[in-house]
Structure 1
């Protein structure tokens, strides 16, 4: 797991990647594998109705899925919809609390599937799709999600006889469930580490309100009962937000929202293939998100991926699965709001990195073992399959992309 790097404004940050956590449920991460390539097969569409509830069908697949005795991976699946017409905005589709149907599809490996609903303020923002029993393999699953139309202003007749008058889009993000349980916060050794009496690591074994103290003259910190402390179970993004995911996010915003989320936003005077971050005509810091078109004045623009300008947009090496950089804190919050997620707390981040309680943290320990285990990538020549979903270090010993010199000027493939 990579360290979370803070963002300040829109800079070319090498690791300006965002991990997110979401709604809490009672209940370690996956073994080392490549990025799991979550994909939707075919066209997502409404296939029928049950009363005033629309049934959305989607075929979803991803690689290297697992479930064991402690935790599992999952896909966070959520939907957007819009009426035909460039002027009509995309809106979030709030799902039913039950009745969703999952069934293995062609290419599925080892087992069936279950779901959890993700709720906020009484609304179901999306579903976590996961393995039903202890198993592992590649996922290929058909989901039929129930979408109540009550409160949307839509009726069955709005969809037309062919059920294609309302556009429906699905988005999926790979997640990992971090189980509930106690953990040590801080190591009581590192500078300004949380500690009890300055000498003992803090045990977090409740979600109740608490006051934390730290070493080296740091002021006490009081946390309310509602602040996520990591003791309860939670989901966290398995990987960084990819450039493909960020482009999909941009493509479902209003024009004003789009202009706030990219640096180069004079869409009326931009040409197909112009880059929205950094230099207008050349990929900067391995960010390949480009402007495609604005079909009419004062309507949203369309974005895509073109990290390699020598070939057409959306080619296999156009950086779709590279982590997205140039992201500000405001971008993160907007992406959270759009996807039905929230930022994880500092305590949740530490819980996700820590070993099982009651194993005490070593002094100055790293989540990836020790600092001597870091072997940085030194440049693009260290990478094979540059820019596509297979991108990886030529040497398995290269395990970190960081540093300010003799390094890659930009992010690498998610995960």
Structure 2
């Protein structure tokens, strides 16, 4: 498969980089069903058969592997630099055997999709700002203080509760007392890619246009905003997954000690240059919460290229999901007033107001900044 690619405002430096998540859909001539294209790769970084015509920018190609891998590729700069990326005749390798009813002699229609992403590198970070935001995270000591930030130092399980040294939350949306956030839960320490922008109308239209008529009818017309169910269906279809609320705080604050940013400025990027995620007067995010048992059971599984949701995800009813960020004081990264909200009316109201959606994907090991 060959395609051209270009985007503005790209960068790569020693701390992180941006990239585009590229994936494909195929349909046999005369057929009605669009299928996700599975790729073939002999290694994760720059596998055999992945190349480009010489052009403005030399590129790296990253194909995630594993049980939920080979569903797309990250395209990034091969060298440090900033500015526009442009390349022609980029080549990817299609696993033809993975698609039903399609052989090498079948005439097909094919669509390529691209989503701008930002690499958030592996490393420690803090939960909580040291302030008094509603339901904020903090490190429990002896019950006399409720503001000491908690530092996440590994991808392993995080002990929770009202016991010395454990992660706890002020008054509401609390994790399990004398429990833990399981090691399988994406706690933000491991590297991941986060959508640079929220789902756009054009991207969502592309999603709808590859669904069956019945599937598309459920999600429009007359629905200009996104329910949780709409966002996770898009993520599953694109081979992404929901972000967790711990990853949300890392995206906003970065590895810095609390105090670097309280979200008081208007419409500014995060530490990592993820756009429109912290600050006043911004759309609200819908991450997986640790304030509900269903959320804590999330294992970070990625979608498989269809709207069907993996079993470990919060399902269409949004139980296990919550709301972070938004207008006014809610834009502060540690504000958790609705972190575990699952009320149906609140979910609907957010669709008509300021609830947008973005997904993430766990980064393959060894790709680095």
Which TM-score band (shorter chain)? 0.5 to 0.7
Q: Aligned residue for 1:66?
A: 11
Does 1:256 find its partner at 2:200?
no
Deviations 1:126-183 (Å, cap 9, x if unpaired)?
000000111122111131000021232432122xxxxxx1111100000000111101
Structure 1 segments of 4 or more deviating over 6 A? none
Contact 1:105 1:140 in 2 (8 A): no
Contact 2:137 2:169 in 1 (8 A): yes
Aligned residue pairs total 258
Deviations 1:172-197 (Å, cap 9, x if unpaired)?
00000011110110124323211112
Contact 2:26 2:108 in 1 (8 A): yes
- Change in 2 beyond 3 A, CA 1:120/1:248: farther
Larger Rg computed on CA atoms: 1
Partner residue of 1:361 out of 259, 275, 284: 259
Partner residue of 1:346 out of 217, 220, 245: 245
How far, CA to CA, are the matches of 2:8 and 2:172 in structure 1?
Answer: 47
How far, CA to CA, are the matches of 1:172 and 1:140 in structure 2?
Answer: 13
Deviations 1:57-111 (Å, cap 9, x if unpaired)?
00011112110111001000000001112x52000001012324233555x2xx4
Tell me the secondary structure at the aligned position of residue 64 of structure 2: strand
How far, CA to CA, are the matches of 1:343 and 1:83 in structure 2?
Answer: 31
Does 1:239 find its partner at 2:194?
no
What is the TM-score normalised by the length of structure 1? 0.57
Contact 2:20 2:114 in 1 (8 A): yes
Extract unaligned runs of 5+ from structure 2.
42-46, 141-145, 161-166, 269-278, 284-326, 329-351, 359-369
How far, CA to CA, are the matches of 1:209 and 1:66 in structure 2?
Answer: 33
Structure ranking higher in strand proportion: 1
Deviations 1:385-413 (Å, cap 9, x if unpaired)?
xxxxxxxxxxxxx9846769xxxx988xx
Q: Aligned residue for 1:213?
A: 168
How far, CA to CA, are the matches of 1:60 and 1:218 in structure 2?
Answer: 43
Residues 61-100 of structure 1 aligned to structure 2 (within 5 Å): 61-85=6-30, 87-97=31-41, 98-100=47-49
RMSD, aligned α-carbons: 2.9
Q: Aligned residue for 1:306?
A: none
- Change in 2 beyond 3 A, CA 1:401/1:235: closer
Q: Aligned residue for 1:113?
A: 59
Deviations 1:98-125 (Å, cap 9, x if unpaired)?
324233555x2xx411011134525401
Tell me the secondary structure at the aligned position of residue 157 of structure 1: coil
- Change in 2 beyond 3 A, CA 1:344/1:232: same
Tell me the secondary structure at the aligned position of residue 213 of structure 1: strand
Q: Aligned residue for 1:175?
A: 117
Tell me the secondary structure at the aligned position of residue 62 of structure 1: strand
Extract unaligned runs of 5+ from structure 1.
1-55, 159-164, 263-275, 279-324, 377-397
Contact 1:195 1:213 in 2 (8 A): yes
Tell me the secondary structure at the aligned position of residue 20 of structure 2: strand
